[in-house]
Amino acid sequence: MLKKKMTDALNGHLVKEFYSAYLYQSMAAYFELKALPGLAKWMRVQAQEESCHGLMFFNYLCEQAAPVRLGAIDAPPNAFKSPAHVMEVTLKHEQQVTAAIHELMDLAIAERDHATKQFLEWFIKEQVEEESTASSLLDQLKRVGDGNGLFILDKEAGTRVFAVPTPLVGRV
């Protein structure tokens, strides 16, 4: 059974995951307006992943017979300076999510909540991948600028395919 402090923290993070999905949908809209459908698709896939992360927190709270509190989701930014700026915002956001996951892990350790610690380990690994991917795409966007390379990168980004995260297979 989850303690109140952990329940509150997990509910707070659940909202952050759904905000992430909202943020990436906003970025997909930006790329659509810039006629970069591949990067728009990449962001839509990212949004789907973040929605799944939110569902994982939702499911975990339910499994622990803890109350789920769906809080308000803030409006994400919708104006960006360039494709590279979008990825700068993405990387910064993922770094903030990583810090939040680490705070949850610290709380789970302090509360001696081994089940939550085990649950969060998946997210610790996921955030390493999220930051690495965002950083790599940012580096590539900075290199190509607004030239022809952007269209090649856009085409490559459009090959990204959504995969349901392993912990949710058969549950969504």
Amino acid in position 96: Q
Domains and CATH numbers, the chain: 4-69+80-159 (1.20.1260.10)
**DSSP secondary structure letter of residue 159:** T
Mean pLDDT of 18-38: 98
Is 146's pLDDT higher than 90? no
Q: How far apart are CA 123 and CA 84, in angstroms?
A: 26
Residue-level pLDDT at 50: 97
Is 4's pLDDT higher than 90? yes
Residue-level pLDDT at 132: 97
Are the beta carbons of 119 and 104 closer than 8 angstroms?
no
For 112, residues 6+ apart whose C-beta sits below 8 A from its C-beta are none
Are the beta carbons of 99 and 45 closer than 8 angstroms?
no
Enter the tokens of residue 21: 């999905």
Residue 151 Cα to chain centre, angstroms: 25
Mean pLDDT of 50-79: 97
**DSSP secondary structure letter of residue 168:** G
pTM over 0.75: yes
Residue-level pLDDT at 49: 97
